[in-house]
Structure 1
Amino acid sequence: MQTNPIGASELIITDKGCIYHLDVHPEELAQTVITVGDPGRVATISKYFDRIEHKKEHREFVTHTGYIGQKRISVVSTGIGPDNIDITLNELDALVNVDFNTRLPKEAHTSLEIVRMGTSGALQADIAVDSLVVGTFGIGLDNLLHYYNYEENAEVAFIKDAFIKHTRLETSAIKPYMVESAIHLLNKFPKREGYIHGITVTCPGFYAPQGRQIRLSPAFPHLIDSLSSFQCGEHRISNFEMETSAIYGLGRLMGHQCLSINTIIANRQTKEFTKDGALSVERMIEKSLALLIN
């Protein structure tokens, strides 16, 4: 157990007693947290609350905490990308596991349920736009988790090694990592309810890191084909986006339970794009909230 207080430059607490970026007090955070990338999507979810206790906003980080029935939930916008997940997950963890008065970790650990509800691109032709996908695993093509001490278990390492061998993506610039989702949360969103289960790949950007070319040529021109053709037993890559593996990785290191749900707004194989992204997101939220609170 750490005995030296965490320094003021390391854990930044405002004069109001809030964590620095999220601008939230410890008592303003629920143990069930829904993360969204888009700050505007926070209100799209909290409108389903029976009552809202707290609303906070600082930069791209918007937090609404309230109740659906007896279930207390916080919705937090993270912004885009693994770097923003580093901020969000560390600050969520500090809010529940650090005493802000003593600046020491609490003796009793609190495990959060963290569920991402986002948008994503499908990598399989048979995954239609507007489908709902949950990430059984997250594979990170970013570098965030390499700044922490993370080791995969044997099953995860086996799948990751097969992924690297198939895609040949491990280079001096890319070192993939892989993390599993929380099984008890995954089981809340089963295939029989219309959720597709598959591996979610997290990319550090939207254009070349996801195989797009506008004026600059990507260094990995066959990225889409490499990802979509990967198969390891029953596991295949269903989709990619920019946050899931970072959430899974930091969440696992911190002892939190994490799951990522995405509505598919584009299919990179068929070149289709959703005709109504807002409606697709709304359906995901309404359906997933009902399953989450039960």
Structure 2
Amino acid sequence: MIKHSELILNPDGTIFHLHLKPENISDRIILVGDPARVDTIAAHFSEIEFSAQNREFKTVTGIYNNTKLSVISTGIGTDNIDIVINELDALVNIDLESRTIKEEKKSLDIVRIGTSGGLQEDLRVNSFVVSQKSIGFDGLLNFYAGRGEISDLEFEKAFRVYTDWDASLPSPYVVDASKNLLSKFDSTEFSRGVTISAPGFYGPQGRELRLPLAHPHLNEKIESFQHAGMRITNFEMESSAIYGLSKLLGHQALTVCLIIANRVTLTANENYRDEMQKLISKVLDKLTL
């Protein structure tokens, strides 16, 4: 039995942070950072079955194209993803009453729709990028057993050597997207690439305001790095933990991002809402057709 201190439930029986019960979610989950984007996506649903919110974690479950979907906001960062993925898995693979792990495991489809910064000159603002792999600068997956078995260790080694990775930084990990979900986005509308999840928006992504960077040339190395025909295309802040934890727990995961800034050409689209609506519609259709 899993102890109360390890699996915390609220007085109403919902799981601690998400405030959800197993019947409140679908097997197909869309993750977004911004709670307001949950409503933007839910506006496409023909029917709303359930909604709840606690802190930054907002959930709406409804119907789109005769398919049940749940949209959940995570807030920003891989630390929040650690909460969301573990609690979603607990909802479907742990009996919350007996606090025991179920013998028959359920696999969820988990797709993140997010915004991102491009790291290649040809990756224009307002383009859509699917993360074939994700590199974690956050170090989260290193706290879990089995991390080496689900990671691309050759890619990790090549990246560390090429960038002369500083041992004082968290050891980067690299995890693949779900092949099944990736195949749904096999079209010219979507670029494919390798996404870095950074543990911050400023210094960890090479932005300098008043604080000088410890590694001011790291982004240049990132932009020029290639391995096995793949290059690093964009920065964001969540996908590495989504990929890593999902892979360890037996779920399918994919991240699709709208490029709202290009760090090489120094261009940006601050008014990206219309482009995000286009991406949302495309993702919803591809997940339900």
TM-score greater than 0.5 by the shorter chain: yes
Q: In the comparison of the two structures, how many residue pairs are matched?
A: 289
Q: TM-score, normalised by structure 1?
A: 0.96
Quick one: structure 1 residues 154 and 244, their matched pair in 2 at CA, closer, same or farther if it must change by over 3 Å? Answer: closer
Q: CA RMSD in A?
A: 1.3
Q: What is residue 263 of structure 2 aligned with on the other side?
A: 268
State the secondary structure of the residue aligned to 2:48. Answer: strand
State the secondary structure of the residue aligned to 2:124. Answer: coil
AA in 2 matched with 1:198: G
Q: What is residue 166 of structure 1 aligned with on the other side?
A: 162
What is the alpha-carbon distance in structure 2 between the residues aligned to residue 150 and residue 247 of structure 1? 15
Q: Are positions 1:223 and 2:218 aligned together?
A: yes
**2:208 aligned residue (184, 208, 213):** 213
Q: What is residue 287 of structure 1 aligned with on the other side?
A: 282
Q: 1:282: how far off?
A: 1.0
Q: What is residue 157 of structure 1 aligned with on the other side?
A: 153
Percent identical residues: 46
Structure 1 portions without partners, runs of 5+: none
Q: TM-score, normalised by structure 2?
A: 0.97
AA in 2 matched with 1:165: V
Say whether the 8 Å CA contact 1:182–1:258 is kept in structure 2: yes
What is the alpha-carbon distance in structure 2 between the residues aligned to residue 170 and residue 187 of structure 1? 35
Q: Are positions 1:63 and 2:63 aligned together?
A: no
What is the alpha-carbon distance in structure 2 between the residues aligned to residue 291 and residue 191 of structure 1? 11
State the secondary structure of the residue aligned to 1:53. Answer: strand
State the secondary structure of the residue aligned to 1:209. Answer: helix
What are the residue-to-residue correspondences of 1:75-94 with 2, within 5 Å? Answer: 75-94=71-90
Say whether the 8 Å CA contact 1:191–1:197 is kept in structure 2: no
Q: More displaced, 25-34 or 153-162?
A: 153-162
Say whether the 8 Å CA contact 2:151–2:176 is kept in structure 1: no
What is the alpha-carbon distance in structure 2 between the residues aligned to residue 45 and residue 6 of structure 1? 35
Q: What is residue 97 of structure 1 aligned with on the other side?
A: 93
What is the alpha-carbon distance in structure 2 between the residues aligned to residue 224 and residue 215 of structure 1? 18
Say whether the 8 Å CA contact 2:147–2:248 is kept in structure 1: no
AA in 2 matched with 1:103: R
Q: What is residue 109 of structure 2 aligned with on the other side?
A: 113
State the secondary structure of the residue aligned to 1:108. Answer: coil
Q: What is residue 204 of structure 1 aligned with on the other side?
A: 199
Task: Name segments (4+ residues, structure 1) moved above 4 Å.
Answer: none
- 1:47-86 CA distance string (max 9 Å, x none): 1111010010000000000111321110000000010000
Q: 1:157: how far off?
A: 1.4
AA in 2 matched with 1:67: I
- 1:12-62 CA distance string (max 9 Å, x none): 111111011000111001000000000100011111111010010000000
- 1:209-235 CA distance string (max 9 Å, x none): 000000000111112211111111211
**1:179 aligned residue (161, 175, 179):** 175
Quick one: structure 1 residues 26 and 168, their matched pair in 2 at CA, closer, same or farther if it must change by over 3 Å? Answer: same
Q: More displaced, 160-169 or 195-204?
A: 160-169
Q: What is residue 244 of structure 1 aligned with on the other side?
A: 239
Structure 2 portions without partners, runs of 5+: none
Q: 1:170: how far off?
A: 4.3
